[in-house]
Amino acid sequence: MPEQSVPQVRTPEKPQGAPVARSAGETITRRRLLGTAGATGLVLGAAGGAVGYASAPAGATPLTSVGDSRVQFHVKHQPGITQPLQARGHLVAFDLGPGAGRTEAAALLRRWSDTARRLMAGEPSAHGDTGVARDAGPSSLTLTFGFGHSFFGRTGLEKQRPVALDPLPDFSSDHLDKTRSNGDLWVQIGSDDALVAFHALRAVQKDAGSAARVRWQMNGFNRSPGATAHPMTARNLMGQVDGTRNPKPADSDFDQRIFVPEQGEPAWMANGSYAVVRRIRMLLDDWEKLSAKEQEHVIGRRKSDGAPLSGGGETSQMDLEKTDAQGNLVVPFNAHARITRPDQNGGAAMLRRPFSYHDGIGTDGVPDAGLLFICWQADPLRGFVPVQRKLDRGDALTPFVRHEASGLFAVPGGAADGEYVGQALLEG
């Protein structure tokens, strides 16, 4: 579970022209609330909220800015990669149905792309919309599509399969369930509203029809926008600040590390990326038996604010050589944060953008909870693989986690207006 973690959760910016927040002493009557929320449908925000299921009367006041937040579908890189963490997520892998090949796959990706464009704009899907998200805006909805290793054999496109999509090596920490790993096609859904995310999930499943069937599905969550007093790095289910050293789009080498170049190979992957997906169960009962100090030594950072044990604030450079009065390393030699640093792994970098999950109590009587790990990189053999191999050789966190499912997917660049995701592959 490499430390180069998730982007910071950002509170949605207040759109221009949005109403001034009411003071604590100012109240909204039930009639006024119902009149605003029920009769108006989706209210347009200056930040780009799209027309939804019902038109808002002139001068209507949105109750929240969360629903107004919209992500564009037709962009250079597919949505759902560089956006801030969303509150709800669904990861779904599909296998092509019996008899389905390249033609059926192309038609499916065209349907999925049209559905994604509509739903991300706050509109209903084209056919058989369930109405689940009727009262909500786009709520930062994103849908992201990728191809697994097996997809290319099923569609006769083996010559177009990227070398970077070669199966991941076995790792000593793996306890993989093959029925919940890999797949021909992969869809990532994220939103700041649970019903909006579920609405998109149902639309994608219905669009699949007989062309593809669900292989596995995983559901996750993050902290809701605005839940903290100010924007801050997220915490995982172990209570650790998780995301401090993530690459940032403003970094000069960000695109080089995360995205396939426009002149890269294969050509259909231009501006795309590779997603490693791992279901990592956290052994929380064992973890929570440790004292806070012991947990900090496992990670190498303070639990309170994410600062390195060598001192400073969250973003301070970690001093790997600093020792205490007894001559012991302040950041232990096997601390997770030490092992996963890019400068300790030949510069290996990846953009982590995971969701937490909780699936109740397992058959062993302990919480089935942890991390739906998702990381993005231009080449997993230079990103995820070297870091995970290093972790295999002695990460202090290993006794408290278990990798239970895995997948690697080629995620092509964004679709141009009038095109669908993967068109260069399927029609090239």
Catalytic residues: 242
Contacts of 81 (CB under 8 A, 6+ apart): 144, 258, 273, 351, 353, 376, 411
- Look up residue 376 and give its two tokens: 């993005």
**Token pair of 183, please?**
């797949």
CA–CA distance, 428 with 419 (Å, rounded to integer):
13
Q: What is the rounded distance in angstroms from the CA atom of residue 256 to the CA atom of residue 267? A: 16
Element (H, E) at 325: none
DSSP 87-124: SEEEEEEEEEPTT--HHHHHHHHHHHHHHHHHHHTTPP
Q: Hey, what amino acid is at 184?
A: D
Instruction: List Cα–Cα distances, 133 to 124, 163, 223, 350, in angstroms.
Output: 8, 40, 20, 33
CA 35, CA 174: separation in Å to the nearest integer?
54
| Cα 122-352-78 angle, rounded to 5 deg | 40
DSSP string for 345-405: TTT---EE--EEEEEEE-TTSSEEEEEEEEEEES-TTTTHHHHHHHHHTT-TTGGGEEEEE
Which residue carries 């022209």 as its tokens? 17
Q: Which two tokens mark 309?
A: 């044990």
Scan for tokens 């399969």, then name that residue: 161
Dihedral through CA 412, CA 415, CA 419, CA 424, nearest 10? -30
Q: What does each C-alpha distance from 259 to 88, 109, 152, 187, 339 come to in angstroms?
A: 25, 21, 21, 18, 24
Nearest Cα residue to 348 out of 382, 318, 376, 381:
382
d(CA 313, CA 297): 17
